Amino acid sequence: MKILMQIDMEGITGVTTWEHVTPGHAEYARFRRLMTQDVNAAIRGACEAGADEIVVADGHWNGSNILVEELDPRARLNTGSPSPLSMMQGIDESVDGVMFIGYHARNGTPNAVLDHTWSRMTVANVWLNDILTGEYGLNAAVAGHFGVPVIMASGDQTACGQIVEQLGDMETAIVKQATGRYAAECLTPEVSQELIFTTAARAVNRLAEGDVPDPFVVDAPFRVTVEFFTSDMADRASLLPGSQREDTRVSITTKDMVSTYRGFRAMVTLALS
């Protein structure tokens, strides 16, 4: 069994502020080590349950957070950016299941640590067709393009709740109870990493038994709509050929989910420029 572990940082053990997840900040060094440890716990659990190939994709910021020298040697690491598939680098038909580690809720969600959708400076909301979603939905839809289900998530209770609500009944490791955007009651690493280990093992056991959600597949054609915070962001995003604009919302429609994902990334990159 081959598992792709897609890693973000806001839902990592102990993280509650932007300082924890921002390169260059003094606190960041502590949390990239904890991020690596959360990933290692998931690798141990997956391998214990029979996974024999693990690919990790570092999906936070510039994709250069996980400490490769401290990563479990049974895994390979996709790091750096931009890569062709960004957060989902490493996905293809050979993957049997995807795990979301360190995930966060979509922008605007109460009781959710560092809630945002892809870019906290630019994106207010994202819809995939008419489905309001977050990074979890966009990334799951790319996995769905290749016929691969998401089988596990870790993060705060709100992120895990949104993921299960949209993607189906999967194993979750709730490593903190969020009480605000910048506040949470956190498990300590020793406890949370044991939880991630057992959750990952259960997820892979369920995958082997066929007891996991269906791949997340939305209906073609694939339209992504981004609501930006300000009109100048929409001005720049709508420079993308083929995009359609309505006020601060810009959308693009394509015939396959991977192209729509690329269109989404292009719009957000333009909006930020």
182, 17 contact by CB (below 8 A) = yes
| Closest separation in Å from C-beta 219 to Zn ion | 25
Question: Given the complex with Zn ion, which of 8 and 58 has the nearer CB atom?
Answer: 8
Question: Given the complex with Zn ion, which of 51 and 112 has the nearer CB atom?
Answer: 112
Question: Given the complex with Zn ion, which of 58 and 171 has the nearer CB atom?
Answer: 58
| Closest separation in Å from C-beta 31 to Zn ion | 14
Does the active-site annotation cover 145? no
3-class secondary structure for 133-181? ECHHHHHHHHHHHCCCCEEEEEEEHHHHHHHHHHHCCCEEEEEEEEEEC
The whole-angstrom separation of Cα 144 and Cα 98 is: 10
| Closest separation in Å from C-beta 1 to Zn ion | 26
Buried b (16+ CB within 10 A) or exposed e, 40-61: bbbbbbbbebebebbbbbbbbe
Q: Which residue in the set 3, 4, 8, 166 belongs to the binding site for Zn ion (CB under 5 A)?
A: 8
| Closest separation in Å from C-beta 228 to Zn ion | 17
Residues 87-116 that bind Zn ion (CB under 5 A): none
Binding window for Zn ion (CB under 5 A); candidates: 11-19, 128-136, 191-199, 206-214? 128-136
The whole-angstrom separation of Cα 254 and Cα 221 is: 6
Binding window for Zn ion (CB under 5 A); candidates: 29-37, 129-137, 170-178, 253-261? 129-137
The whole-angstrom distance between residue 241's C-alpha and the CA centroid of its chain comes to: 27
The whole-angstrom separation of Cα 182 and Cα 178 is: 8
Total residues in contact with Zn ion, by rule CB under 5 A: 2
1, 52 contact by CB (below 8 A) = yes
| Closest separation in Å from C-beta 216 to Zn ion | 17
Question: Given the complex with Zn ion, which of 8 and 171 has the nearer CB atom?
Answer: 8
Which of 46, 86, 89, 40 has the alpha carbon at shortest distance from 66? 40
Question: Given the complex with Zn ion, which of 55 and 105 has the nearer CB atom?
Answer: 105
Nearest 5°: phi and psi at 159?
A: -60, -50
Binding window for Zn ion (CB under 5 A); candidates: 1-9, 157-165, 204-212, 243-251? 1-9
Strands of the sheet containing 123-128, edge to edge, are 131-133, 123-128, 222-228, 249-254, 244-246
Catalytic residue of the set 60, 104, 116, 145: 116
Binding window for Zn ion (CB under 5 A); candidates: 5-13, 50-58, 157-165, 260-268? 5-13
Tokens of 196: 């991630």
Residues catalogued as catalytic: 116
Q: Which spans of this chain sit near Zn ion (rule: CB under 5 A)?
A: 8, 135
